[in-house]
């Protein structure tokens, strides 16, 4: 499966389709047919929601969706964590709703990173039901409602309400294609390093939706902006503004703070530990290039890599040794 994943990824991001290998060219018609079926299914699903044949649920608190148009590596989870921490520091208890892909590794990471904050995390495919369950357990308070405003005026104590522990906002992790929940803010993450490849829908290309879906966005965030040239950033901005001229565009970067030992996640090793070192980057993330580039910028003398599929589950030395030359 790893070899097939690599082949499909290379086809999706090939700059010159004429330079594909014979095997890749033989796969292209199959992927193209599957992509056409996906487009039909996507359009049909969109019509069901457009004509209210499928219901969109409205939650009783503000909903922020963080999503993307392509497969992984767009910085969704770090952005979700950033927003949750910001809300928590502001006295608002956020609820993160995540589907829990690949055994829920991202949910566990969010729990670890956000430990000690006001953040609650709900995991499951039916996010409306998960949200309802969390509201029943923790309660909720909508800072926009007239009832809430009236209470704040009567009590003259804003902090007591905001810090009550009741859920005050919902963050949808990977929420752009989760159309069953209405949202108040749609944030679209864009991988500045990989962008949209051949601009084809899955599985022929990396797109989950056509680029016209950017019209639904309230803001776009170009991730890994520090690893992209200024001209490329301008080109990306121009492409997005062609779809939605008024789209606000922001830029983010990942800045490593320290390393830790796998056996002890609470340990901290300084970044200088890898200066002039020869290292092997083993990753199972959506954008391995960004990870490798970051290690090179730290000052390693030589960097090699082993890339596995996003959320790949490692089984100690067996799989690593089988991937080595």
Q: What is the per-residue pLDDT across 196-233, written as a single tens digit (0 to 9) for each? A: 999 999 999 999 999 999 999 999 999 999 999 999 99
Q: How confident is the model at residue 311 (pLDDT cuts 50, 70, 90)?
A: confident
Q: How confident is the model at residue 30 (pLDDT cuts 50, 70, 90)?
A: very high
Q: How confident is the model at residue 72 (pLDDT cuts 50, 70, 90)?
A: confident
Residues 6 or more apart from 277 whose CB is under 8 A from it? Answer: 300, 301
Does the structure show a pLDDT above 60 at 42?
yes
Query: Backbone phi, then psi, for 281, in 5-degree steps?
Result: -90, 115
Contact by Cβ (8 Å): 129, 115: no
Of 43-47, 79-83, 110-114, 147-151, give the lowest mean pLDDT range: 147-151
User: Could you tell me what percentage of the chain is helix, strand and coil, using 3-state DSSP and rounding each to the nearest 5?
Assistant: 45, 20, 35
At 118-171, the pLDDT tens digits run 999 999 999 999 999 999 999 999 877 655 544 444 444 545 555 668 999 999
Does the structure show a pLDDT above 60 at 183?
yes
Average pLDDT, the chain: 89
> What are the beta bridge partners of residue 304?
280
| pLDDT-above-90 percentage for the chain | 74
Q: How confident is the model at residue 263 (pLDDT cuts 50, 70, 90)?
A: confident
For residue 144, how many other CB atoms are within 10 A of its CB?
11
Residues 6 or more apart from 17 whose CB is under 8 A from it? Answer: 28, 198
Of 89-93, 217-221, 286-290, give the lowest mean pLDDT range: 286-290
> What are the beta bridge partners of residue 121?
96
Q: What is the mean pLDDT of residues 68-93?
A: 94
For residue 192, how many other CB atoms are within 10 A of its CB?
24
pLDDT of residue 8: 94
Q: How confident is the model at residue 102 (pLDDT cuts 50, 70, 90)?
A: low
pLDDT of residue 266: 85
Q: What is the mean pLDDT of residues 98-108?
A: 80
pLDDT of residue 141: 92
Contact by Cβ (8 Å): 281, 292: yes
Of 6-10, 47-51, 177-181, 245-249, give the lowest mean pLDDT range: 6-10
Q: How confident is the model at residue 103 (pLDDT cuts 50, 70, 90)?
A: low
């Amino acid at each position: 499966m790893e070899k097939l994943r690599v082949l499909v990824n290379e086809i999706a991001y090939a700059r010159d389709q004429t330079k594909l290998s014979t095997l890749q060219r033989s796969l292209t018609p199959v992927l193209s047919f599957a992509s056409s079926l996906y487009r039909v299914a996507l359009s049909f699903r969109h019509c069901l929601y457009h004509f209210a044949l499928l219901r969109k649920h409205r939650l009783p608190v503000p909903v922020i969706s963080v999503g993307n148009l392509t497969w992984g590596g767009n910085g969704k989870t770090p952005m979700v964590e950033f927003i949750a921490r910001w809300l928590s520091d502001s006295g608002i208890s956020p609820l993160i709703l995540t589907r829990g892909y690949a055994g829920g590794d991202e949910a566990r990471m969010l729990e670890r990173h956000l430990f000690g904050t006001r953040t609650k995390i709900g995991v499951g495919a039916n996010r409306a039901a998960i949200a309802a369950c969390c509201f029943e357990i923790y309660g909720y308070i909508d800072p926009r409602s007239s009832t809430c405003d009236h209470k704040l005026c009567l009590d003259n104590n804003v902090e007591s309400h905001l810090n009550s522990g009741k859920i005050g906002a919902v963050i949808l992790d990977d929420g752009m294609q989760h159309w069953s929940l209405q949202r108040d803010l749609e944030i679209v993450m864009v991988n500045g390093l990989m962008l949209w490849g051949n601009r084809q829908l899955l599985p022929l290309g990396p797109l989950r939706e056509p680029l016209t879906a950017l019209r639904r966005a309230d803001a776009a965030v170009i991730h890994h902006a520090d690893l992209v040239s200024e001209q490329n950033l301008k080109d990306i901005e121009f492409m997005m503004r062609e779809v939605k001229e008024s789209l606000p565009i922001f830029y983010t970067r990942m800045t490593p703070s320290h390393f830790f030992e796998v056996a002890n996640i609470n340990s901290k090793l300084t970044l200088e530990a890898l200066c002039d070192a020869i290292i092997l980057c083993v990753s199972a993330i959506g954008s391995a290039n960004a990870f490798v580039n970051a290690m090179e910028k730290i000052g390693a003398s030589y960097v090699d890599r082993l890339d596995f599929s996003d959320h790949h589950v490692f089984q100690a030395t067996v799989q690593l040794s089988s991937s080595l030359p």
